Structure 1
Amino acid sequence: MSIQAGDPIPEVTLKRIRDGVETVDTKALFDGRKAVLFAVPGAFTPTCSASHLPGFIEHFAAFRQRGIEVYCVAVNDPFVMKAWGESQQVPDGLLMLSDGNGELARALGLEIDASASGMGMRSRRFALYVDNGTVREAWIDAPGKFEVSSAEHVLAHLPH
């Protein structure tokens, strides 16, 4: 079953690159703060690069004005996530997180098999609003769709 409002974020580790490869755990990322975590099936893929990540870049300041952190995650290695972030000119503070082994996608119940496209196991496209480690809202797109997890949709549906 996939993650739902009221559920805690599962405790797993992710990777990111700043001064080197760092391991970060979800407890440290989400405890004591409000955040939107959005997932894409793959860095550098068409919809993810043309629409999904750019929407969160465009509206990053609006999330921050509400006191909300923004995290992007994909089942890609941390080097790919760093390169993708640089190519998209991701602002400082929008974290590009690697779920390289798909542990978070699996723990959330949002893993998909994209083997037919040569991509192996990936994450479904989604956005979660998390407050102090607890999911308050979950927007999960149907496979192959990009509708409810967009930055615009999330901003319009955040609790006030």
Structure 2
Amino acid sequence: MIQIGDRLPEQEFTFITEAGKTTATSAELFGGKKVVIFALPGAFTPTCSQAHLPGFVVLADQFRQKGIELFCLSVNDAFVMRAWQQAQNADAITMLADGDGAFSQALGLAKDTGAFGGLRAQRFALVAEDGVVTELQVEAPGKFEVSSAEAMLKRV
């Protein structure tokens, strides 16, 4: 599992925006910036849609005032992440589609839910500065406490 002091793995991400489909690498997204990446098991799932993402939407301005960019990671495709972003009014947050789970696996934070959904990201949040992890909060199974927007805002 990735640790504080480790560099984020290199990955190419696909995004769907009003301008269409685009790609960017980890270095392009996280280099030279302070970011919070919060990950969740799936778009449109109950805790993710009712608490995790909405908390970051509500507090996005407070993170921005601290010079922090927000990224939401899920093992879904870019089209699902865009639809979820629109449904949640989450335009202030960059939605990272980890379609095949490669980034979650490279972080050591993937889990296999079997027939329920297959490979997913564990629920976690991290802070990275210039691509290096400075804070990492991984939720215990079935919990939603340490990776919330409120908890992370206190840690940045």
Alignment of 1:103-142 (within 5 A): 103-117=102-116, 119-142=117-140
- 3-state SS in 2 of match to 1:142: coil
Q: Which residue of 1 aligns with 2:150?
A: 152
- 3-state SS in 2 of match to 1:59: helix
The Cα of 1:22 is off from its aligned counterpart by 1.5
Q: Which residue of 2 aligns with 1:85?
A: 85
Partners of 2:144 and 2:130 in 1: CA distance = 27
Give aligned-pair identity as a percent: 50
Post-superposition CA distance 1:47-78 (Å, at most 9, x none): 00000000000000000000000000100000
Post-superposition CA distance 1:7-29 (Å, at most 9, x none): 00000111111122222111111
The Cα of 1:112 is off from its aligned counterpart by 0.2
Q: Which residue of 2 aligns with 1:56?
A: 56
Q: TM-score, normalised by structure 2?
A: 0.96
The Cα of 1:120 is off from its aligned counterpart by 0.5
Partners of 2:150 and 2:119 in 1: CA distance = 27
Q: TM-score, normalised by structure 1?
A: 0.94
The Cα of 1:156 is off from its aligned counterpart by 1.1
Q: Which amino acid aligns with 1:39?
A: A
Post-superposition CA distance 1:78-99 (Å, at most 9, x none): 00000001000113x3101100
The Cα of 1:116 is off from its aligned counterpart by 4.2
Partners of 2:142 and 2:14 in 1: CA distance = 26
Q: Which amino acid aligns with 1:12?
A: Q
The count of residues paired between Structure 1 and Structure 2 equals: 155
Q: Which amino acid aligns with 2:146?
A: V
Would you say 1:76 and 2:79 are equivalent positions? no
Q: Which residue of 2 aligns with 1:95?
A: 94
Post-superposition CA distance 1:121-153 (Å, at most 9, x none): 010011110001100000111122111100000
Q: Which structure 1 residue ranges, 4+ long, deviate > 2 Å from structure 2?
A: none
